[in-house]
Amino acid sequence: MSYDDGSYEAVPGERLLDPEAGSEEAALESALRPRTLDSFIGQQRVKDQLGLVLEAAVARGRAADHVLLAGPPGLGKTTLSMIIAAELGVPLRVTSGPALQHAGDLAAVLSSLVPGEVLFLDEIHRMSRAAEEMLYLAMEDFRVDVIVGKGPGATAIPLELPPFTLVGATTRAGLLPGPLRDRFGFTAHMDFYDAADLERILARSASLLDVPLAAEAGAEIAGRSRGTPRVANRLLRRVRDFAQVRGDGTVDLGVAHAALDLYEVDAIGLDRLDRAVLDALLRRFGGGPVGLSTLAVAVGEESETVETVCEPFLVRAGLLARTPRGRIATPAAWSHLGLAVPPATGAAGTAPLPFETSVGEEPSESG
């Protein structure tokens, strides 16, 4: 949400380029989800490995190994969990880490599973410690100990569970305790999609939505989608609106350009806030180094928003680097905003630092 004074408030999914889903987006998304492993586009390595795990389970007639899906939001983790259940021909139960604050919450879910069922546990890194400990035993022995009573009189009653397959999803695999990670038979690390895969995803979505989409327009939208199918599909919906209101419904290159310009999504997928951050870093602070909080004040935004909403993509795009001394701009940032790289920018004039280019890691400084 942006205000007249140019400041922003981050609401998940409300920002056009937010990789998280908005509250009303789920229904729109479900129509576009691929239902089989074959129709899931890209992530070939993950698909090959997962396909093998599932086929082996079907051949053995047993519940499949537990699967951990790790990667940034919007890359298809929920979709894959649905595909896993469908390919195994078993029902799917969906819950999430934040919903399991007490061990009892988890016990209730586990004890009501049917044999072979897939349990999708989103944001598994946000589960409570008590639920996590119960989950260890459940994953390994298909059993939980339900504690009845309190204090010295408390007793543990063992409860047998039907065999099930846990599919855990996390955007922060590094936050998972080792013992939990070790209990997954297979971990899929999902990567951002390349332009060619995003074009295929867009072509598929356009045909499901009955939108005539020219190939060059698909390529243009793909290039601005930050490697994320959720963002690609969202941009497609906005461009479709534009085409229907201002044109005859066909999305050609001209329509895609005009619509994306109207929504202020630039050629590499930066929006107004991203560009404001870069602009402040370059023009006000000479390319840095500058502390996060100073940078945030300069754009009238909370530090957390700048850090979690803008920076991951700016870092990944090689425009900004986080260093122990503060944020610095790379030469690519200057040229992206059409500015000449000043000769005396020192550290700011060096190439992106390899140790700073990962996404989703903790920042090396916070103020």
Please tell me which residue in 15, 18, 78, 271 is annotated as part of the active site: 78
Q: What is the smallest separation between the CB atom of 163 and ligand ADP, expressed in angstroms?
A: 25
C-beta closer to ligand ADP: residue 99 or 258: 99
User: Which residue in 13, 76, 218, 269 binds ligand ADP (CB under 6 A)?
Assistant: 76
Please tell me which residue in 230, 316, 322, 327 is annotated as part of the active site: 230
Question: Distance between the two ends of the chain, CA-based, in angstroms?
Answer: 25
42 touches ligand ADP by CB under 6 A: yes
29 touches ligand ADP by CB under 6 A: yes
**Residues recorded for the chain:** 367
Helices (H) and strands (E) counted in the chain, each on its own, are 15, 9
- Burial class of residue 129 (count of CB atoms within 10 Å of its CB; 0-12, 13-18, 19+): exposed
Dist CA 91 CA 89 (whole Å): 7
Stretch of 135-143, 228-236, 280-288, 303-311 lying at the interface with ligand ADP (CB under 6 A): 228-236
40 touches ligand ADP by CB under 6 A: yes
Q: Would you say 330 and 320 are in contact if contact means Cβ atoms under 8 Å apart?
A: yes
Dist CA 283 CA 333 (whole Å): 11
79 touches ligand ADP by CB under 6 A: yes
Q: What is the smallest separation between the CB atom of 91 and ligand ADP, expressed in angstroms?
A: 18
73 touches ligand ADP by CB under 6 A: yes
User: Which residue in 225, 233, 305, 330 binds ligand ADP (CB under 6 A)?
Assistant: 233
In the residue annotation, 78 being an active-site residue is answered as: yes
Dist CA 272 CA 310 (whole Å): 10
Q: Would you say 322 and 363 are in contact if contact means Cβ atoms under 8 Å apart?
A: yes
- Phi, psi dihedrals of residue 96, rounded to the nearest 5°: -145, 160
Q: List residues near ligand ADP by CB under 6 A.
A: 29, 32-34, 40-42, 73-79, 201, 229-230, 233
Q: Which residues are catalytic?
A: 77-78, 122, 171, 230
